C-alpha cells in the first residue's frame, strides 16, 4: 500500500475516532492523555530533522553548483517567482471575499459571543504583533544575520538565520580551492544522505502520527453552535485556496509541460502531512523528498528553493490574510476603498513573507494587515474559533506553492543551460 493511501486511512480513522470519543464522558480526556502525545512526538520528529536537513541540503546544493553566477541566477528566479505567486494569492483572496461577502452573514449575537470567547487569545496576538511593529522597519534585516549559529540552529523559528549561514557557508566552499573544500564536500554529501534516510524512517510512522493529530483536533474542537456564523467565512477561504491550487496546476502545465495529475500524485503525501501538522517547516523533509524523487526536480534546485520557500513563501497565508481582513471589515460594517485594498495587497504580501513556518503564525501577522487597513483589531477574535482547521488547509497550499516554484525554477535553469 502506498504511503499517501496509508496517511489518508490514518486521517479518516483519526477523525472518526475523535468524533466517537467526543460523544463519551471522559473520551476527550482519554484522547488528550493517551493519543495526543503520539501526534506531538510525530511533529517533534519532523521538526528535529528540519535544521540538519536545511544545513546539509543547502550547503550540498550550493557547493554542487561550483559557480557563483549560477547561484545568483537561481536565487533571482526563486525570489522573483515566490513574490509573484504571493501577489497573485492575495489578489485571489480579495476577489473571492469581495464577491461572496461572508462578513455580512454574521449576526450581532454571534459576533459578541466570539469576541467574548476569544478576547484573551486576540489580546495575546495583538501584543506579539505590537512588539514586532515597534522594532523598526529594518529589524527583519537585522534578524536575518545570526550572532551565534549554534543558538540560531537551536530554534526552528530562526530558520531564516540558518538558511543565511548555510548559503554563506556554501558560497565560501565554492570560492576556495577544490582540494581544500573536498573533505567538507564529502562530509555534507554524506550527512545529506543520512538525513534523507532518517526522513524515510520517520515517514513510516506518518499514518499513526496523523491519526493522533486529527483525533485530538476533533475531540478538542470548540462548541459547534459557536461556529455557525463562521461557516461562510470558512467556505470563502477554502474556495480561495482551491482557486490558488488550480492556478498552480495551470502554471505547472503551461511552464513545465507536466500534467496536473503528475503534480498532485507527486506532492500528495507532503500535502497530507502539511494538513496534519499545520507547519511548513515540519513538512519540509517530506516536501524535499517528494519534489526531488517524485517530481524529478534536480537536487541542486530543490535543496535551494524549498528551504527558502518553507520560510518566506506563504501563499496560503496570503490568501487567508486578505480574506480574513475583509471579512472582519464586513462584519463591522466597514467599506474598504480601492486604496485600502491595494494596501492590503502590499501589506499581506510582506506579512506572509515574514510569517514563521509554524502553526498559526499567520494570525500574528494578520494584526499588522488589520492595523494598516484601519480595521478594528478586536475583530481578530471573530476568527479564532475556526483558525486551527483553516490553518491546516492553508499550510497545504503553502507547501504546494513551494513545490510549484521549485518545478518552475528547475525548468528555467534547464532552459538556460
Residue 45 scores a pLDDT above 50: yes
Question: What is the pLDDT averaged over residues 220-233?
Answer: 62
- Domains in the chain and their CATH numbers? 3-416 (1.10.3860.10)
Summarize the chain as % helix, strand, coil (round to 5): 85, 0, 15
* Average pLDDT for 18-30: 90
Residue 122 has pLDDT above 80, yes or no: no
Predicted pLDDT at 199: 81
Residue 177 confidence (pLDDT) above 50: yes
pLDDT-derived band of residue 35, with 50, 70 and 90 as boundaries? very high
User: Which among 286, 263, 279 has a CA at the least distance from the CA of 206?
Assistant: 286
* pLDDT of 224 over the 60 cut: no
What percent of the chain is modeled with pLDDT above 70? 82
Q: How much is the pLDDT for 281? A: 80
Q: Judge whether residue 110 has pLDDT over 50.
A: yes
Average pLDDT, the chain: 83
DSSP 189-246: HHHHHHHHHHHHHHHTTHHHHHHHHHHHHHHTPPPHHHHGGGHHHHHHHHHHHHHHHH
Is the pLDDT at 407 greater than 50, yes or no? Answer: yes
Better-scored residue on pLDDT, 402 or 222: 402
378 pLDDT higher than 70 = no
- The highest-confidence range among 277-281, 300-304, 335-339, by mean pLDDT, is 300-304
- Specify whether the CB–CB gap between 178 and 63 falls below 8 A: no
Q: Which of the four pLDDT bands, split at 50, 70 and 90, describes residue 355?
A: low
Q: For position 225, what pLDDT does the model report?
A: 46
Query: Mind listing the pLDDT tens digit for each residue in 286-335?
Result: 999 999 999 999 988 998 899 888 877 889 988 998 898 888 888 777 77
Q: Is 297 helix (H, G, I), strand (E, B) or coil?
A: coil
> For residue range 161-170, what is the model confidence (pLDDT) as tens digits?
887 898 899 8
Amino acid at each position: 500500500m502506498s504511503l499517501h493511501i496509508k496517511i489518508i486511512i490514518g486521517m479518516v480513522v483519526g477523525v472518526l475516532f475523535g468524533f466517537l470519543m467526543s460523544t463519551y464522558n471522559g473520551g476527550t480526556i482519554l484522547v488528550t492523555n493517551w493519543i495526543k502525545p503520539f501526534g506531538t512526538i510525530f511533529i517533534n520528529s519532523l521538526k528535529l530533522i528540519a535544521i540538519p536537513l536545511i544545513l546539509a541540503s543547502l550547503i550540498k546544493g550550493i557547493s554542487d553548483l561550483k559557480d557563483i553566477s549560477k547561484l545568483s541566477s537561481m536565487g533571482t528566479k526563486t525570489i522573483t517567482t515566490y513574490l509573484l505567486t504571493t501577489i497573485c494569492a492575495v489578489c485571489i483572496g480579495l476577489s473571492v471575499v469581495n464577491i461572496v461577502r461572508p462578513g455580512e452573514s454574521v449576526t450581532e449575537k454571534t459576533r459578541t459571543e466570539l469576541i467574548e470567547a476569544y478576547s484573551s487569545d486576540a489580546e495575546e496576538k495583538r501584543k506579539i504583533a505590537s512588539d514586532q511593529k515597534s522594532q523598526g522597519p529594518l529589524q527583519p534585516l537585522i534578524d536575518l544575520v545570526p550572532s551565534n549559529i549554534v543558538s540560531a540552529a537551536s530554534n526552528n523559528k530562526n530558520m531564516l538565520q540558518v538558511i543565511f549561514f548555510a548559503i554563506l557557508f556554501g558560497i565560501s566552499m565554492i570560492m576556495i580551492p577544490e582540494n581544500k573544500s573536498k573533505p567538507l564536500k564529502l562530509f555534507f554529501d554524506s550527512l545529506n544522505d543520512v538525513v534523507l534516510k532518517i526522513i524515510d524512517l520517520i515517514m513510516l510512522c506518518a499514518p499513526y502520527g496523523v491519526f493522533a493529530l486529527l483525533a485530538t483536533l476533533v475531540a478538542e474542537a470548540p462548541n459547534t453552535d459557536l461556529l455557525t456564523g463562521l461557516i461562510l467565512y470558512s467556505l470563502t477561504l477554502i474556495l480561495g485556496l482551491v482557486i490558488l491550487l488550480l492556478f498552480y496546476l495551470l502554471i505547472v502545465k503551461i511552464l513545465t509541460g507536466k500534467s496536473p495529475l503528475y503534480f498532485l500524485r507527486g506532492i500528495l503525501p507532503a500535502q497530507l502531512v502539511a494538513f496534519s501538522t499545520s507547519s511548513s517547516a515540519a513538512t519540509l523533509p517530506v516536501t524535499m523528498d517528494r519534489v526531488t524523487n517524485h517530481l524529478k526536480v534536480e537536487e541542486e534546485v530543490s535543496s535551494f528553493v524549498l528551504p527558502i520557500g518553507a520560510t518566506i513563501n506563504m501563499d496560503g497565508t496570503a490568501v487567508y490574510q486578505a480574506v480574513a481582513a475583509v471579512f472582519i471589515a464586513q462584519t463591522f460594517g466597514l467599506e474598504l476603498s480601492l486604496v485600502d485594498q491595494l494596501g492590503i495587497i502590499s501589506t499581506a504580501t510582506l506579512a506572509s513573507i515574514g510569517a514563521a513556518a509554524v502553526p498559526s503564525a499567520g494570525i500574528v501577522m494578520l494584526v499588522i494587515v488589520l492595523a494598516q487597513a484601519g480595521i478594528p483589531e478586536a475583530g481578530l477574535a471573530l476568527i479564532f474559533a475556526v483558525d486551527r482547521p483553516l490553518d491546516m488547509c492553508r499550510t497545504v497550499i503553502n507547501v504546494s506553492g513551494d513545490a510549484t516554484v521549485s518545478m518552475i525554477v528547475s525548468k528555467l535553469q534547464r532552459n538556460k543551460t
